Amino acid sequence: MAQLEFVELAEGNIQDAISVCNMSLDYDVLCPSTLRRITFRDPNFESHLALIAYGDQKPLGFVVGCRRIKEPAEYVDPRSGWIKVIAAAHGSGRGEVEVLNLMCEFVETELKNLGAEVVRLTDFASWHIWAGIDLRYESILEVLENRGYSKVGEAVDYVIGLRGFYVPSRILKLRDELHRHGIAITLAARADGGDLCDWVKAKFGAGWAYEVATSIENAGNNGSGTLVAKDRGGDIVGFSTHGGLEPNWFGPIGVDESRRKSGVGSALLFESLRLMRLNGIAEAIIPWTGQLFFYTQVPGIVGIRHYHIMSKNL
């Protein structure tokens, strides 16, 4: 069989990339807006690292490599590389494992030539689809392990059915108690964005601040937003974001370390999910978390996805 031809992702062939992903990634459904978010709309995007693999003039594979070379500025490190997403069509006539191997080899070589010393799968925060590789994608994991990748972390997504979502009475009582203690929870307005993002950046890092800013910026278009909890003095106590990256994603959420264990986080969580339900979200994703017990209080958990974060020295 002829060698694979690697063609850079562009608007003209984006549907080929979508088709490969949706034919091969059995536990995901990708849409063009998501693919554009992690490629063209990523300020770190390098077009020669986003490739569709063709064989016999058919799209057989898709891979997106990247480096953090621009944003957030605090995290820039060209010595680190990532593969954000990788997929090879089932039953293509050319083995799925073979296509995955060839795409990995191509991107690893490109990253190494650019000076990268390590490559990770797929935890490229703020411009990612997954925190890592879903354990059910056995072919991808097999290829990675055979190529010398090892697990360096793990995370889960919670899938929350919102059709029957309700706010438990204990949360309603908690909200009343917080109110009596001077804690008010409101939806952040655009005018509040600067101060709130500065606070989130100082407490939790630039990545979360970017997602908060994005949720406020897009609030009028897709119903996204960020709740902010403040005390009587107007000091920020905590926040929770919904729809910042994807319309059905919840998070990030954070509470000032000195105010934790007070119920602020739980109140923010339920209010954000309530707003998502009102915005017509039938199924919410709580992505990339290690806070397993905090989220089990939510009624309507319909699924959990378990990811391995993989890494390899180049």
Residue 159 lies in a domain: no
**What is the spatial distance between Cα 239 and Cα 15, in angstroms, rounded to a whole number?**
37
Q: Report the CATH number that the domain containing residue 188 is assigned in CATH.
A: 3.40.630.30
Question: Which domain range does residue 47 map to?
Answer: 5-153+308-313
Q: Which helix (H) or strand (E) holds 16?
A: helix 14-24
The verdict on 52 and 188 lying in the same domain is no
Strand-strand pairing, 301-313 and 150-161: antiparallel
Classify residue 158: in a domain, yes or no: no
Percent of the chain with pLDDT over 90: 89
pLDDT tens column, 202-234 = 999 999 999 999 999 998 888 899 999 999 999
Indicate the range of 69-78, 108-117, 155-164, 256-265 predicted with least confidence. Answer: 256-265
Closest CA to 24 of 100, 91, 88, 101: 88
Are both 168 and 142 inside the same structural domain? Answer: no
Q: In whole angstroms, give the CA distance from residue 171 to residue 180.
A: 14
Residue 2's pLDDT band (boundaries 50, 70, 90)?
low
Same domain, 141 and 173: no
Predicted pLDDT of residue 1: 44
Please say whether the beta carbons of 152 and 131 come within 8 A: no
CB 21 within 8 A of CB 52: no
Strands, E assignment, the chain? 5-8, 50-55, 58-67, 80-88, 118-121, 133-134, 150-161, 184-187, 225-230, 236-242, 250-255, 283-289, 301-313
CA-closest candidate to residue 115, choices 67, 149, 83, 152: 67
DSSP bridge partners of 63: 51, 86
User: Do residue 214 and residue 146 come from a single domain?
Assistant: no
Same domain, 9 and 107: yes
Tell me if 294 is assigned to some domain.
Answer: no
CA distance 175 to 165: 17
**How many Cβ atoms sit within 10 Å of the Cβ of residue 222?**
14
- Calpha distance 213→15 (Å, rounded): 29
Give just the sign of the alpha carbon dihedral 291, 292, 293, 297.
positive
Q: Does the residue 303 lie in any domain?
A: no
149/10 same-domain check:
yes
pTM of the full structure: 0.93
Q: How many domains does the chain have?
A: 2
Whether residue 42 contacts residue 57, with contact meaning beta carbons closer than 8 Å, is answered with: no
Whether 103 and 53 have beta carbons less than 8 Å apart is answered as: yes
Q: Write phi, then psi, for 308 (nearest 5 degrees).
A: -105, 130
93, pLDDT greater than 80 = no
Q: Specify if 297 maps to a domain.
A: no
**CA atoms within 13 Å, Cβ hemisphere of 276:** 34
Share of the chain above pLDDT 70, in %: 98
pLDDT at 311 over 90: yes
Is the previous residue joined to 168 through a cis bond, with omega within 30 degrees of 0? Answer: no
32-65: pLDDT as tens digits: 999 999 999 999 999 999 999 999 889 999 999 9
Tokens of 120: 């990770």
| 241-245 contacts at long range (C-beta below 8 A, 24 or more positions apart) | 241/211, 241/212, 241/215, 241/272, 242/215, 242/272, 242/273, 242/275, 242/276, 242/284, 243/215, 243/218, 243/276, 243/279, 244/211, 244/212, 244/214, 244/215, 244/218, 245/37, 245/126, 245/211, 245/214
pLDDT tens for 174-188 read 999 999 999 999 999
Whether 122 and 169 share a structural domain: no
